[in-house]
Amino acid sequence: SQTIHQWPATLVQPVGSPLSLECTVEGTSNPNLYWYRQAAGRGLQLLFYSVGIGQISSEVPQNLSASRPQDRQFILSSKKLLLSDSGFYLCAWGGQGIQYFGAGTRLSVL
């Protein structure tokens, strides 16, 4: 069966520091991959999605970037975090029209 791993679960970072969040999927090949952000009390905002290795689509202009170095690995990065980058980050993989979500990373930028 397919599983999705996302880490770390919680992260506290100072403003201006770099960021790297990792997501990996097991049990499937060539999945679509997604990064979402969920601000407190708000819905999900799609940040990036990828339909294959090295193929990244950005949904909103921002301080973040994404990369897909391997088929089942999706990385969310920032060179310098802003206070506004705080939130709950969710990775998801998609197959046959359905998306399956990881457990999320709570990022606090102080």
* Interface residue list for another protein (CB under 8 A): 6, 32, 34, 42-44, 46, 49-51, 57, 88, 90, 92, 94, 97-104, 106
Torsion sign, CA atoms 86, 105, 73, 92: negative
Q: Strands (DSSP E) along the chain, which ranges?
A: 3-7, 10-13, 19-26, 32-38, 44-52, 55-58, 65-70, 73-78, 87-95, 98-101, 105-109
To another protein, the closest distance from the beta carbon of 16 in angstroms equals 26
**Of 23, 12, 29, residue with least CA distance to 68:** 23
CA separation for the pair 9, 29 (Å, rounded): 25
To another protein, the closest distance from the beta carbon of 79 in angstroms equals 25
To another protein, the closest distance from the beta carbon of 59 in angstroms equals 8
- Which of 23, 80 has the CB closer to another protein? 23
To another protein, the closest distance from the beta carbon of 63 in angstroms equals 22
- Which of 13, 44 has the CB closer to another protein? 44
- Which of 53, 94 has the CB closer to another protein? 94
- Which of 65, 95 has the CB closer to another protein? 95
At residue 13, the 3 state secondary structure works out as strand
